[in-house]
Every structure is written in structure tokens, then in C-alpha cells.
A and B are shown apart, each in its own frame.
Chain A
Amino acid sequence: MTRTRNSRTPKKRPTGRSRAWLGWALKLSLVGLVVLAGFAVYLDAVVQEKFSGKRWTIPAKVYARPLELFVGQKLSRNDFLVELDALGYRRESATNGPGAASVNGNTVELNTRGFQFYEGAEPAQAVRVRFSGDYVAGLSGTNGSKLDVVRLEPLLIGGIYPKNLEDRILIKIDQVPPYLLETLVAVEDRDFYQHFGVSPKSIVRAAWINTSSGAMRQGGSTLTQQLVKNFYLTNERSLSRKLTEAMMAVLLEVHYDKREILEAYLNEVFVGQDGQRAVHGFGLASQFFFSQPLSELKLHQIALLVGMVKGPSYYNPRRYPERALNRRNLVLDLLAEQGVASKDVIEAAKKMPLGVTKRGSLADSSFPGFLDLVKRQLRQDYRDEDLTEEGLRIFTSFDPILQMKSESAMAETFKRLDGRKGGEQVEAAMVVTNPETGEVQALLGSRQAGFAGFNRAIDAVRPIGSLVKPAVYLTALEKPSKYTLTTWVQDEPFSVKGANGQIWRPQNYDRRAHGTIYLYQGLAQSYNLSTAKIGLDMGVPNVIKTISRLGVDVDWPAFPSMLLGAGGMSPMQVATMYQTLANGGFNTPMRGIRSVLTAEGEPLKRYPFQIQQTFDPASIYLVQNAMQRVMREGTGRSVYSVLPRSLTLAGKSGTSNDSRDSWFAGFSQDLLAVVWIGRDDNGKTPFTGATGALQVWTSFMRKADPLPLDMPQPDNVVQAWIDPYSGQGSDASCPGAVQMPYIRGSEPPAGAACGGQATPDESVMDWVKGWMN
């Protein structure tokens, strides 16, 4: 094992002086031998210790929600294909093996890959999906068998990296595709199966080739030596390191068999750089360059990856496609030369394009805003080491399709609004959730997609302006004996003296008073005077209490100005507050994570759906009605110049003083979105809630095409016919009569005749009937 320089034992009889010299040399080399032997023992320990334990620390992997397929699902064919592309499905004329898809008009056939989820394994299967309109109309196996529901594998959207930023997807040697091992050995170390760690033969060959060509064309390092170099040593180039490397390579071969060494090599090899992240191993490389699992790679892809090992940045196929193509074909020629594959196979492979995915496509663009949210939630439950080293699998609610739609809605709207003075310094944030489950589906921390700095969606706490008003009206509508949607209220100037002696004199945005109006109109038109009046009547502390029941604990002082949104919230907090409004008065903590599995696929932790009823659904129903009127006839009505009127939506715009913040928050049945626009330095913007944030919101909703809002009418809500001009009870048959919802008992007495007085008997009977029910 310790083959060292002691082999040069002197043969000639030395004379006098040189004998003394030799004596010294002998003693010294004996000492050197001992030291070297000790060093070898030490190296042996190092080699074994690191190789036998956990060889790599693996950053946690974060996955998007898996796309579910079932009949009746709202999913357009195009969105489906975007998802398939992101998942690296190959488009083929006929599906052939996992990860293949063929499109034929409205029918898509695909071979799913299968995946281990929290509640069990999803098998790989051959599936046929038929689309009709924007819905899935048929789902079956390609053999015609009935399928109820199928899940695609989830898109990997990022990882949680330690400082050295090494990343890899571990692979097992029996999972590698055909040709990979042969190609690797043929290109990098053709004597791999014969040598003992170091190959004198290849050193000689390399030396011969290099001297004859006059350039460093071939290295004599074996795969084992390369592994040792990457795995145990630094990048330093010196003779002593070279010697250490050789010793360790031999030691490694003594302890482990060739397959183990090869498997370690496959996982250790450096194949590219992704920004700050070092891409290690063929498993991750395959995802990084082809968005496909390694096992699906074909010969031409394998040749490229193996060819790149020689110089990952020099042969970077995205930056130097021609260079990479030449290298790949050189590798393929070598394979033909060595008889690894037949001529036909090689020629076919050489005709293939490089096939690397584009940068910035769904697959390898990153979503730093959402990942930031996930990390914050994870840090509450895990230590940093667990996240960066244990290879945990984090399953989130992230919806890449909705994220792409919010990003493009943001980009397109800003492009359109670009002409506005002062528009350049404006920043933005956006949160998209599912109001029925409380899951965060998309998140933008900046107007710029992929921006990884200040996460405004979570950290920018800004005055919410009129977004607070639904809380004021909800507080009022919880007292049906006092306020209904059609209660007359005054929108007239007034002033109140604050606790500090200051006079507070609210004003409407248009600086006009609107006289006597229906209560709901104050919200729909976002009138400040009437809203402030109602809020003061309810009491500022009670309105703040309502906000806390909506799910956001604010530390606002109980000043009257809070009624008009002087208090600040982050877009995430606004989403939480509006989620309770959208979800029938049930509050759900916002969730970005569904579950966590170990590296081996064992269930570890679940983040379950949790709700808390904090309001009677009836008062929420009324507020939703008024918020629908915001969209139909109020400050949000511009949406219907873009969206169909059949799409019932509820929402509210918000603008803080001097247009420093432009907000819009609103929801459909299945989608809630909050948009904020403003400047980081809190300067003035050229936007109001309606001209800024609402435009982004509308553009997003048009792309997302959600389901119309449709809250079931609670038992204790009645629809009453009223005269729209007097607000008095009327009859369905009366001209112009309209229907309004009321909490039972608070509806105006039914009119006897059109425009006439109500007969008390009927209303009493109504009331009694309601009570009986």
C-alpha cells in the first residue's frame, strides 16, 4: 500500500565521505517512510470516514403543487401544455416511455412519471386527456381504462441552499439510462474497470498525446482520481496534491468496488453553474439542462453531459451552443470508435439538436418571492441545518401557471402605463391565494419577475387607504337593527375633535359631498364622509376589533383616520383580511406549504387546513354584496370593460394620501388577488387604486379566468323586493322593483301596493314565518 521512495536502495559500495552522506540519507528516508506511512493511515481514515457516511448534504427541495387532472376541471389545453413543457415532457408523435407527450388537437396523451407524495405514491401511467373549451372533458388511460383523478409530478421550483451553494439530485447507479456509464468510461477513463485507482497506462498515453500535439489535450487522471480531487481535496494544483490524490485514489479502490466509486462520481461531478448555485451530479444536470429526470435521457443528451465534464463553463450549451455541439459530436464519434453504440445509432444521435431548455422558461426561472415565504414558514419549524442538509422535500401550494399569469399581468400593465410621469420609480407587489383553502398560489415581491431582494408582498407595510372600508361596513352590518345595505346615511362634511385636541375633517376624493345615500353606496363609491360617519358611530376600537377578527392583528391607534385607512398592512396581511371576507366569515391562516417529506419519501410533517369562524355568514353575505357593487357600479367598474359581466367579482380599491399607495384587493369564487403599487421611498405616484393596482388586477383576472363569486345564501338572509328610489318594501310585480338581501327581520316591510304603505300584518307574518323556520 505504501509504495514510496525507499525502493532506491544503494547497490554500489560507497566510499568514505559518500558513505556518511548515504547513512544520513538512509536515516532520513526511514523517518520519511514512517511519516509517509502515518500519512497513509491518516488518508485511509479520511477516505473511509467520508465515503462510508452521508456523502453529501442535500439542500431541501421545494416543489410546486402537483397539477391534478379530472373531468370537469377548469384547465385550458394551453395552460396544460405550458405545465408539461415546464416539467420537461418530450413532444412526440406517439408517447414512448415516462415523460413523453403527444398532442393531437384537443386530446393530449402523456406518460406521467409517477411521484412519491405525502399521502402515497402516484404511479407512472399512460393517460389520455381530452379538452373542451377551457375544461377537461375526458380522462382515461390510453388503453381506455377509466381514470377518476391523475396527478402529474410537481415542478421543482427551488431549493434551500447552504452557503457553498452546492446542489444535486442524488441518483442511484441502477437508475441511470443506457449508455451513460459506457460513455463516461469511454470518454474519461477507458481503463476504469482495469486499473487500481491510478492508471500508469493512461498517464503514458496522455503524456504521449500531449507531447505529440504540443498541447494539454488529455489528462491522465482516472475517474477515481477525479472523484478524489472533487470529493476530498481543494482545487490547488501542485505535485504534493497530485501525490495525495493518487494515494487516496488507490486507497478508495482498496475499500470500495467500481460501481460504488462510479455512483459517487455520477453524483459528485461538477457540470455547471446556475448563478450562485453549483450544479453537481448528472441527476441535477439533467434537470438543469433538459428539465428531465436523468433516467429519461437519450444518447445525444448523455453525450452532451459527459462531454461537458471536461469544461463545464467552456462547453456551456446555453452560452456556446456551437462549441457544445462540436464537443457532443466528438464524444459520439469516440463512442462509435470504441464500439459503444452502432454506427446507425450514433449517426441518428448526431442529427439531434442540443435539446437544452431555454433559460427563463417556467422550469429554470426562479420564484424568489414565493420561496422566501416558504423559507420563513419553514424556519418556524426547522433548524437551518435540517433545511440545507437533510434533503427534505417540501410540497407547496405554488401554482406556476398563476404565477406566470401574475408576472405577465404586472409586466404588461406597467408597459401600458409607462408613459405616466413618475411611473419609473414605482414598485409593486402581488399576492394570489385560493380563498376557499387559504393557500398562497402566487407571489410577486417586486414588479420585476424573479427579483430576489426586498419582498414587498411580505415586508412592505403601507397605508391601506380605502381597503379598510369593508371592515367598517361589516362592523355596521353586524347590527341589522341599525344598519342594512339600504339604510339612509349622510355623506356630508363634518369634523370631530380627536383626543389630542386636533380637529379631524375628512374629505371625499372628489372633494364633494353626496348627500343622503344608501349605505352600500358609501362602500361602492368609496365615499369617505359617510364611511367615517358610520365608523365613528360604530366606534374606532370596534372597527379595529373587526379587522382583528378578519385575521390581522394591527397595532393601530384608535384614531378616526384609521377608518379611512391611515393604518398600514402588508399585501399578505391584506390578503388574509380579504380571505375571511371571501370565505364566508371563516378565517384561514395563509399557508404556502402543504407537507414535508424526508429525503427517502417518508412523511414528516403536514400543514393542515384550519379554519376559524369569526363572523356570521349573513353579515359577510351583505358585505360581499356591497363589494360586488363596487365592481358593478362603483370604483372598480372598469373591470367590466375587460371582463365579461357574467363574471361576478367582489373587491375594493384603495388609495393613500397623495396617491402614495395604489391598492386593489378582490376575489372571485376561487381566486383572491391583492395588488399594491407604490414607491419604496414612499413618494407620490401617478396612480390611484383604480388607475394603477386595479389595472394589474384586471389583467391578471382576465388571464386567470376565474369562477364567478357565488356565496350560498345563509339561512338567515332574505331577499326583499324594494322600490329603488324610496328604499321601501315593494313587490316583485312593481315597476322597477329590485331585490336586496337583508338579515332576516331587518328587511323593510313589504309594500301593499306599488309605492304604497306596507300592511303591518304581512310583515309580522313574515317575521313569524322566519322565526318558525
Chain B
Amino acid sequence: MNKWWFPALTALALLNGCASVPRGSIPVVDSGSQVSNGERVSANRVAGPVASSGSSQAQPVPQDSGVTVMIPQGAGSSPIQTFPAATGGAAISSGPITPGPVDAEPFDIASMNSAPSPASAPTGIPRSNTASGSLSADEQLDGPVLALLTTAQQQQGSGDYNGASSSLERAQRIAPREPQVLYRLAQVRLAQGDAAQSEQLARRALTYANGRPDLQAGLWNIIAQAREKQGDSAGAALARQKAQVKL
């Protein structure tokens, strides 16, 4: 009668053993493309040495805030020219006379170019009204963008390049067309050793830096350094020349 205690207890032990299998190995629902890369969760914060700082640091003018900001000088410091000067006669839409046969329509340029709405400021940087001749673009670098550039500067100073990049990208989202943000991003990338991206970012910045010769020169200097790093000394020389000419 009591004999079944033995197997019963054994079975109990076994059952409970099964019941309490650690949950370590949980199958995943859709494990379609399992990637077995060796690095897996690896911290990728770079804390490498600053490779370059020299000439590009010479260009910017330090401001009170501790942030290095490019300041263009002279007459060229008007804001980026964004609207084609469509002032005069274009406003009168020309009559529907077909240049070619059939139903081709004439230009409707008036509507194309005369659309500077008040809402057209890039987010974050209230664009000064061209007509009212207010602050230059650089002086407008206060508020959020300046604050984030300051943070980035501190992070870069303590060797936290990834943190600095991250802060600068935050600034970029706030003011995507501010070339100074891209300029700083290019600097950080260069310091991180990513010369190719550094050059690309500087080139992107150049497209927003019309009429700001100092900033352009600074950007060409970064391009020169980036090209040097990539082993393109001819290209570097060319960029250096551009940096000279723009000054």
C-alpha cells in the first residue's frame, strides 16, 4: 500500500523539476533573419585621441558662450539668399498663348517664385526678414541651437565624440539648414576618424553657406583635412586653395 510513495515522490520530483525549468531559452516568434555577427551588443563609444584640431580651430572665432561659432565678416553677411529675386513683372501671369502647337501652357512663374510665406523659416532659427535687415544669420545662433552646440562642445572636450555627435544631430533636427551645425558635425567626424563623412558634411554645409565667406573658408579647410586623411593630397591642395580664395 505504501509502496507507491517511492515512485510517486520520484515522479513528483521529476515533474517539479520540469515545471521549473529556468526560462533562459525562450524561442523567438519570427527568428527569420538571425544575424550572427561577432560584435553583437558592443559598446561603440569612441574615445580615441583627437586626430586633428589645428587649422580648423584657427578659423572660428570663440564667443562668450564658449562655443566656437563662425562669424562671417563684411558685407557678405546677409542671410542665405533663398528666394530668387522675383520682384517685378513676373507677378503678372502671362496670358495663355501656346508656345508650341496643341495645348502646351505658358509658364506660371509668378506663382512659383513669389511664395515667401512668413512660415518659411526653418524650424528653430527665426529667419530675419531680408527687407528689415535685422541680425545676421550668425548672431541669430542663440536659443536652442547655441545651447546644443555648447553641450556638444563640452562632450567633445571630454572625449565623448558620440555624445557630441548626438547633440549636434539634435541641433540639426532643430535647424537642419544651419551650416554651422553641419560644420561642427564635420569637425567631430574628422576627430572620430571618419574623414569621408566629414567631407560630405562640409560639402552639405557649403550649399547652405552662400554669402558667408568665413564659414565657407572654414568648411573648405575641413574638406582639405579630410581629403588629406583619405590620401587625396591633390584634392586637399585644391580645397586649401578654395579656402584661400574665399577669405
In Å, the complex CA distance between A429 and B108 comes to 33
Q: What residues on A are CB-neighbors of B207 within 8 Å?
A: 584, 617, 712, 714
Which of B23, B125, B173 contacts A72 (CB under 8 A)?
B125
Contact in complex: A741, B84 (CB < 8 Å): yes
Q: Does B44 contact A (CB under 8 A)?
A: yes
Interchain pairs with CB closer than 8 A, number: 301
Q: Does B247 contact A (CB under 8 A)?
A: no
SS of B interface (majority): loop
In Å, the complex CA distance between A609 and B36 comes to 25
Q: What residues on A are CB-neighbors of B41 within 8 Å?
A: 382, 386, 390, 392, 598, 604-605
Q: Which of B1-29 contact A (CB under 8 A)?
A: 2-3, 5-6, 9-10, 12-13, 15-17, 19-20, 22-24, 26-29
Q: Does B132 contact A (CB under 8 A)?
A: no
Which of B9, B24, B33, B146 contacts A148 (CB under 8 A)?
B146
List the B residue with the shortest CB-CB distance to A637.
Answer: B108
In Å, the complex CA distance between A500 and B3 comes to 87
Per-residue contact bits, chain A 722-742, to B (CB 8 Å; 1 contact, 0 not) = 001111000011111111110
Q: A603-B162, A735-B89 are in contact. Are A518 and B104 (CB under 8 A)?
A: yes
List the A residue with the shortest CB-CB distance to B152.
Answer: A119
Contact in complex: B80, A712 (CB < 8 Å): yes
Q: Does A414 contact B (CB under 8 A)?
A: no
List the B residue with the shortest CB-CB distance to A586.
Answer: B204
Contact in complex: A162, B29 (CB < 8 Å): yes
Contact in complex: A725, B84 (CB < 8 Å): no
Q: Which of A379-415 contact B (CB under 8 A)?
A: 379-386, 388-390, 392
Per-residue contact bits, chain A 47-87, to B (CB 8 Å; 1 contact, 0 not) = 00110000001000000000010111110000000000000
Q: Closest CB-CB distance, B135 to chain A, in whole Å?
A: 13
List the B residue with the shortest CB-CB distance to A39.
Answer: B13
Q: Does B99 contact A (CB under 8 A)?
A: yes
List the B residue with the shortest CB-CB distance to A133.
Answer: B119
Which of B84, B94, B123 contacts A670 (CB under 8 A)?
B123
**Interface size in chain B (residues, C-beta < 8 A):** 103
Contact in complex: A739, B90 (CB < 8 Å): yes
Q: Does A715 contact B (CB under 8 A)?
A: yes
Q: What residues on B are CB-neighbors of A610 within 8 Å?
A: 197, 200
In Å, the complex CA distance between A244 and B136 comes to 77
Q: What residues on A are CB-neighbors of B113 within 8 Å?
A: 739
Contact in complex: A516, B101 (CB < 8 Å): yes
List the A residue with the shortest CB-CB distance to B15.
Answer: A240
List the A residue with the shortest CB-CB distance to B150.
Answer: A148
Which of B107, B142, B147 contacts A738 (CB under 8 A)?
B107
List the B residue with the shortest CB-CB distance to A714.
Answer: B207
List the A residue with the shortest CB-CB distance to B92.
Answer: A736
Q: Does B109 contact A (CB under 8 A)?
A: yes
Q: Which of B111-163 contact A (CB under 8 A)?
A: 111-113, 115-117, 119-126, 142-144, 146-148, 151, 155, 162-163
Q: A707-B119, A707-B123 are in contact. Are A379 and B95 (CB under 8 A)?
A: no
Q: A72-B123, A609-B169, A708-B120 are in contact. Are A244 and B99 (CB under 8 A)?
A: no
For this complex, 13 residue pairs linking A to B, each with C-beta atoms less than 8 Å apart, are A39-B12, A70-B174, A72-B144, A149-B148, A244-B12, A380-B35, A514-B100, A586-B204, A707-B120, A724-B97, A725-B97, A737-B90, A740-B109
The 7 closest A-B CB pairs, nearest first, are A516-B100, A515-B101, A148-B147, A70-B144, A436-B176, A646-B117, A119-B166
